[in-house]
Amino acid sequence: MEPDNEIDHASHGWALLAFKLPAIRPYYRAPEVSTSLAELCKRYSIGVLEIRRLRLTPNGASSVEIYEARLRAIETEVALLVSEQRRSRK
């Protein structure tokens, strides 16, 4: 795995989340959500990379479920954030 300082976690996480949750795509640069969303994207990126690392270690597989649950929680939080933003624009 690449050292963290070589990865733009916000952009990496955004790409992963936008692929999985296409409805969020218009909101990444929205000033009302960009800071919160960028932080969630960073955490998502780090979680995905940690799962990859854990799957390569002999005893890491047992921790994968924990990180997968955290990723699902972030996905839910992102979807709620965008949903709230969408409602406030109407």
Question: Please, are residues 31 and 38 in contact by the beta-carbon 8 Å criterion?
Answer: no
Domain count, the chain: 1
- In-domain check, residue 22: no
- In-domain check, residue 6: no
- In-domain check, residue 9: no
Burial 23-36 (b: 16+ CB within 10 A, else e): ebeebbeeeebeee
pLDDT digits (tens, 9 = 90+) for 64-85: 999 999 999 999 999 998 888 7
- In-domain check, residue 1: no
- In-domain check, residue 23: no
| Domain region containing 78 | 28-89
Taking all residues of the chain, what is their mean pLDDT, rounded to a whole number? 85
